[in-house]
Structure 1
């Protein structure tokens, strides 16, 4: 019997023969034909040749409206004139240098002006490097080793934090006292022992965990908006409570704003009015170029100061603060005005409202999560507030929707999470909601 998923995959395969052929070739040179697991999907991923504004074109000539924007990065859309001009001008002068460039100073200035917690900032090349260095800073500054993180949170691809990202529930322990579970084989044997897990958005359990282990903690790290579970906003009382408890106990609080920085002019800490000790950045702040950054309190960040006798903590990187990324980052931040954030907020809220109305009309067991410009489809009638509620999603329906939307001319992440950019319009939102309706109809919900 042909299932709705089979039908969507058949349509997708027929429409994308060149992508299928390229993927087959890719498997000869890369494991599974892939060098970035987060953008792989069955039966094969698309191969993109162009991105302009809101539109992606693939090798088969298919055009799709992009609602993932390279995993939330392209907040101004594809090839915004301001950013491409800045990068082109820098290219005329050189791609990278063995010394700082003037643009990196302006970049750092913009970051420190916008973000409440930043006394000083350092640039790296990925969000992974940002969280790695923030954790290293917390350990060096505090003299302690252990961490607290939320179950179901992704903070990058390094051993210290690849714990309980998507843990099997039969290994994850009790919901109010989660176990530390390695994300995959190869993670250091000590990593599980160095981290304690708490549910997201549960301040009662978080306080219990933090107080129980306070004397050995270097830091508490949290995403103010949990991306892995579908752009789930932190409850104000949860984030405020983490700040209150860590302040009282003298524990460093790290905000991972690699995704969440895009929800307000000064990031999630500006949106929530909660100031962490250290913050990690990526994606948006590089304007589409490879990027990461971390920063915060003067006394912590001074450990990297190489002047006057040397730094306490060493930090190198051939492409840290490179002029190409700095040029793109400066152009992006200078163009992200408060008015553009207001536009993004309104458009994101419109999209979520229209999706909720559709699900209510069709009486489909679905929901939508998100905040500001971020959103995700949830294939469960349960309100998603943390990892355990996220785990109630119907994965088959998620796959039907993801492939079905590709067939309808829209791209989201393969977990059906997305975001709007400043070049998306209300017409794009309406067309997307219609596409979701069409997929649900083919799946038997209309």
Structure 2
């Protein structure tokens, strides 16, 4: 844990970084649980700098760390449904004893004679069921690229296997989960859309940005009424002194209730802030982002900007033309070490041919006050610097289930996929070009 960043877990690059009596956590990479170590935006009114979203921001219309919830009670209640980030290398599970025996014989025949295994219906069913159970540990809605990685992993381990009809089986499994009332698939069903409209007529409500816990079930033993009672208690708890631990525990316990409200009801920011005032604290944005993505927000964001800053600066300086001249002006304050992060973030906007003034707006009234504005509502203030504000704004995109603003869609894509490394396999042309140049 790094005490300088609210005891967020950080990735170690050297044993020298471990402090005396520090807390460390071991994570198995083999299991794929890797700890990878708004809608016009302005940085705010009343401030020299404020980040925010104006009223034109469109709400989402459907738009690794594995310690998702820290309290023992919540961990116990959610252990069967908690998920992890999609692994870099998909690990094919062990199937039943007889299935493994048939596959072993098939692999031996393939190695000796090159003959493929003709799967009987029972074996095929066991393979599909085993793969599905492994897939849903990570996500319900799987892309074709994800399915390809599963197929490649299966054939790599069992080269005797041919086709598996995995996509059809997964669709059938989603239907089964919908009948069981699993909220992540129920919320996107036709019956839960206005007038029973189809997905084509009404935007999908499903994970789009590598959200691991997009719309989780309520904790075991809790109901909407009991969690609403906790929400009301939080309104007074947050005003009491030395009450941080009580607030933290109740915020953890009401996480699923809050996600249902954000995803299903898409409330306006002013109403949501009034109902969940405890959420709009710097530390709570970190805490809320963690169970949604299983990844720490603040430390990951700022440390990755540090890691990429030299490469990004080099790429920026090679850019010519009008954009190159704009980049020179943006990078000029980098001599001040406190402004390096801010210059890099603004430089990303310019390099991607987007206007950084849509993200950061500077005022003259109070240079020391840096805050975040969303839909005209000031949600955070008195932040230390613009880079921290950018990190929190990115976190609020997930916390409030906001869509990226059209004027900054490439900047936020790069922050998500190249900086935070959340689902970075599918990139737009602009983001892909930048990635290629970073690693030339």
Higher RCO (CA < 8 A, seq sep 6+): 2
* TM-score (norm: length of structure 1): 0.26
- Indicate the structure (1 or 2) with the bigger Cα radius of gyration: 2
Q: Which has the higher helix share?
A: 2
* TM-score (norm: length of structure 2): 0.27
Q: Which has the higher strand share?
A: 1
